[in-house]
A = this chain, B = another copy of it.
Amino acid sequence: MTARDPPALSGEDRLIAQYFRPLARHPGAMELRDDAAFYTPPDGCDLVLTKDAIVAGVHFFADDPADAVGRKALRVNLSDLAAKGAVPQGFLLALALPSDIGDAWLEGFARALGADADQYGCPLFGGDTVSTPGPLTVSITAFGTLPRGTMVHRSGAGVGDRVFVTGTVGDGALGLRLRRDPAKAAQWSLDAAARDHLVERYRTPQPRTALAEAVRRHASAAMDVSDGLAGDLGKLCRESGVTAEIEVARVPLSAPAGAALAADPALIEAMLTGGDDYEIVCTVRPERIDAFRAEAAAAGVPIADIGGVVAGEGPPRFADRSGHVLAFARGAFSHF
């Protein structure tokens, strides 16, 4: 974007006009006809800024549908905003395109991205479209707002707080494994609908935007679960100078994930450390729990109390029904 159009319509200009201008409905985006965009923040607010990049072959499969790539690129950022308690306001997009990407792909990508921009109230403000000899790479910066000084940090958890997680955990990790090895569906006794549910959970995050306000009002600490519940809760605890005791039996599972786990109990490690959940894990002080539960219910977001914050350091302890603490071979996803 940044509308670097020569006087004669170039390929870059055509891409922007045809696929991305329709997404740039905010007046500050200048219809992508300027070097930059402007945004007028409401007085008394803070901006919350986040930036996540996804690379073909690393964060998604090169043959994933274009619409799924568009959704994932924006939603991983919306998930961060929600976990901080912020309302999305807009995003900027850098798209590095290999030469074999054609109009059909771009059309699907932009249409899905535009639908999400509408759904989440997060329009396109600008960006850059460049060519690359490498894999398709999508880098999005999203920004949101909240009342000044109210961003929810990772560092606020206190001893005695309860630990909550939204939705269900482990679906994304199982979906990734199914995507890599379709034979696992039979090993896990999953029917087609169950398999599709898990693959779709991997492919298309559902950011918990609806819970942002309740998180902001009631959570003492929060983060999004993108690299595995165990590792991400570990980061939250470390920044807060505490640790946590989690009852694995209370970790909410989807029906397909529960079925897979019944077929192969060893999957619990992948489900708790595998990433791609895009749920929110947060801590709530006891006196705020009733209000948090009520507001989550009103927002239509399921939440589960999975354990408590305790004094100490080191990784959170995940205990099974017999009180045995699980040992994980790896903490969380890391690129390096």
Point out residues on A near B: beta carbons under 8 Å. 1-8, 10-15, 28, 30, 33-41, 43-55, 57-59, 80-81, 83-84, 86, 92-94, 96-97, 125-135, 137, 139, 141, 143, 148-149, 151, 153-155, 223-224, 226-227, 231-232, 234-235, 238-239, 314-315, 330-336
Contacts and interface: CB of A to CB of B under 8 A. Distances in A.
A155 B27 CA distance: 14
Contacts of A35: 50, 80, 83-84, 154, 223-224
Contacts of A332: 4-7, 10
Copies of this polypeptide in the complex:
2
A126 to B, nearest CB: 6
Nearest to A331: B6
Given A128-B52, A226-B4, A33 B334 contact: no
Contact of A50 (B8, B10, B36, B40): B36
Given A58-B130, A135-B134, A148 B40 contact: yes
B92 A141 contact: yes
Given A15-B336, A36-B80, A57-B133, A7 B331 contact: yes
A133 to B, nearest CB: 6
A49 B39 contact: yes
A53 B235 contact: no
Contacts of A80: 2, 35-36
B128 A137 contact: no
Contacts of A135: 132-134
Given A51-B93, A137-B137, A334 B59 contact: no
